[in-house]
Structures are given as C-alpha cells and as structure tokens.
Amino acid sequence: MLTIAFIGAGSVEFTRQLLRDLLSFPELADVTIALHDIDGERLAVAEALARHTAEACGAKPHVVSSLSRRKVLEGADVVINMVAVGGHAATLTDFDVPESFGLRQTIGDTLGIGGIFRALRTFPLLEGLAADMLAVCPDAWLLNYTNPMAMNVQYLAAVAPRLKVVGLCHSVYWTIRDLSGLVGVPYEEVDYLSAGVNHQAWVLRWEFEGRDLYPALDAAIAADPELARRVRVDMYRRLGRYPTETSEHSSEYVPWYLRHDSEVERLRIPVRDYAGISAANLAEYEGLRDRIASGEAPPPVLDEDATEYAPQVVHSLVTGKLRTIQVNTVNHGLIDNLPAGAAVEVPATLDRLGVHPHRVGALPPQLAALNRGFLNVVELTVAAAVEGDPAHVRHAAMCDPATAAALTVDRIWELCAAMTAAHGDLLPPALRST
C-alpha cells in the first residue's frame, strides 16, 4: 500500500485540497495518509479534515498522524512538504521590519529580504527532514511546496544530493489557464512551453491549433487599457514574453517598480498584500477548527478537476499515466544560459519511474539576464547557510534587485541585522550574529 507523508499538515486548507485531489483518483482511494505537524491542535484539525474529505470522496484511506516526523516518514513512498516555519508571526516580521526601513514588499516569500529570511528559517527544517528521509525512506520522492521554492530546492541539492526532490508550484498552470480565457480559447486544447525560475519563468510558446496566441493577447491588451496597468503586462510589453507569476510577485524581483510611488499607483501594486492573505489564512483555520470542535462538518472543497501537481505525480507513479507538468529542479543541462546547479523551472514528464525534466536549451537573452540576477540572490542565500557565513546574508541582500534599488548599502546591512535579531532562534545558529 502506498504511503504519502504530509509534513506541515497543519496548513489545513491546503492539506484538504491536496487530499481531495488525491482521493478523487480511484487508484489512490486506499492509500495510507500519514500526517505530521509540530502543533498538536493543528494536527488534530488536519486529521479530522482528512477523515471528512475521505468520506466526501467515497474513499477509504488509512489515516494516521503523529507529532514525530520520523515516525510519519517511516516507509513513506512520497513526502509532501508544506511547512511555513514561524507561521503568521514570522510573516509579519518579514514585512514590518523592512517597512520600518522604507522597503516595500508585496508577497515577501520568494526573493528580497522577506524571501532571504524565510529561506534561512526554513533551511534547518529542510536539513532535518532530508536526514530523516535518508534514514527511514531514502527512495521516497520529496515534493516541496514550501517557499522560497528556488532557494529551498537548491539548498536541498547542496545538503542532500542523493534525495529525489522536485518543487511544485501552480503559477504556470493558472497563468496559461487565465491567458487562454482572456483570448477565448479552451485551456485544455492549447500547447505551451514555459521555463525560467520559479515565480519568474516565461511563456516561451503558447499556441492553439498551431496558431501563435501572442498576437491575440496583444489585441486584448490594446482593447482594454486597464490590462496595461499590471506589472507583468508591463514586463511582457518590454521583454517580449509573458511572466508566469502574478504582478504582486513579479514586482518584487526587479528594481523598476516598488521604489517609485508613481509606479505603485500606475500599476496598482498592492503593497503588503501577503500580510493580509496570511491573516485571512489564519482566520480561515480558526473557523475550521471551531467548526470541527462543535461537531459541524467542514464546508466542502470546491468541486473542480484536480489541479495541484502533487496528486498528479502520485497518480502517475502508481499507474504509469503519462503527464507533463512544471517542476523545479537542479539545472543539469536543462537551460543553457542559466547557471549549472541552480534551481530552475522546466516542463517534466511523469510516469511510473518518476519525474523526468525536459531540456529547454537557451532562453532569450533578456529573460536569462533577469533570471541570473534572481539566481544570484538564491546562490548567496544558500551559501550563507551551507558555509555558516553571516556575511553572505548581507551579500544576498545587496544583490537583490528591489532591495538594492531602495536602500543604501549601509541601510541594507542595518536591515539584515534587524531581521536577524527579530527572527532570533528561528535562524541557523551560525547565522544569528547581528
């Protein structure tokens, strides 16, 4: 019987969506679901939701839970990681401290000061998770959802190169689906190729019945001036290919927008957006917890086709069904003009043997140039943890495009010291020096 371990199962709404998608496949109706979280209350809520979800799907999985990570991992075939180290409080720190220095952020989970420190407090968890997996389930696939995706995948490659790791993110799926709707073609019938890095990949090809759809997108933008008031539309018009992540995310990875009041207004950039989303997620969890405690059934998960990638990976591993999805993995000859060994996002084929990334070749030079700037921050953040060198934290921040555009180098170093003090024991011991 297949065993799927959920690490960070206390992210209950996401756990429930994944379980709904998993258990919608008849071939997976009797899998073992092993849930782990360090928060006992959240773990209990996750287990109750798992049982409700199974009943709603007409499935009969074997559901177990434990506060012990290693116990949950024993014999696992697939491990899904979705831990948010530090939770809502750490997320607020990632926004509040930089804001006091005059640095704007929108999401703060991928690059920039927020992304750097989110990675640094996540790396100790990843190191322990990798060690446990190598000890008790060395052949399992680790499917990582936790951000910052590129930093986490590259760190795992550095500290546990034997582990089978792929990072999963839905941004390309939703970008293509939304763009196809905008130009009036069925998503299911389009062909596309996307590659780059997570949250800054590019739609390199996008076709319907052999017809390039970019001219149709140009016409849609020309017909609606409000579409041009979005960051990624602005980037597309200047760079020639559409970015695969939202404008809120995309604004943080370049130096051009967030430092300017006029650009924030022109492009309707929602500063501190994720702080509000995180608070809403916490409120949603509390509502589910209280509903379950009172004996009420939770509201149903939206009845839509399975869209998350992890259930598709698991289903292909079990059945051999061929699929193509986007994955984040180490660049071993996949993208020619991005650094070897960096974490990149490319298409991959799924089957019974595993996940097989596709070679893409070279990106258009202007796109590769932006991706290399992104990956400089990733490389230095990973180096800070692997080498135990606090100076590299500062170097990463200095190389971050949006941070460097907004602050002097003295202020960048002062901000890193303030963030280090604020996050304290969440950081690796060697990096707690201010």
Residue 76: C-alpha distances to residues 2, 66, 132, 140, 308 (Å): 8, 14, 11, 6, 20
DSSP state, residue 361: B
Look at residues 229, 300, 294 and name the one whose alpha carbon lies nearest to residue 267: 229
Strands 32-36 and 3-7: parallel
137 is in an annotated binding site: no
Please give the radius of gyration of the chain, using alpha carbons only, rounded to the nearest integer.
Answer: 21
Three-state secondary-structure class, residue 143: strand
DSSP state, residue 90: H
Any bridge partners for residue 243, and if so which?
Answer: 202
HSE value, Cβ hemisphere, 13 Å, CA-based, for 124: 14
147 is in an annotated binding site: yes
Structure tokens at 168: 């999963």
199 is in an annotated binding site: yes
- CB atoms closer than 10 angstroms to residue 272: 16
User: Does 170 participate in catalysis according to the annotation?
Assistant: yes
Active-site residue identified among 52, 88, 170, 260: 170
**Could you give the residue ranges of the DSSP H alpha helices within 296-364?**
309-319
Q: Which residues are annotated as a binding site?
A: 147, 169, 199
Catalytic residues: 170
Q: Which residues are annotated as a binding site for substrate?
A: 147
Q: Which residues are annotated as a binding site for Mn(2+)?
A: 169, 199
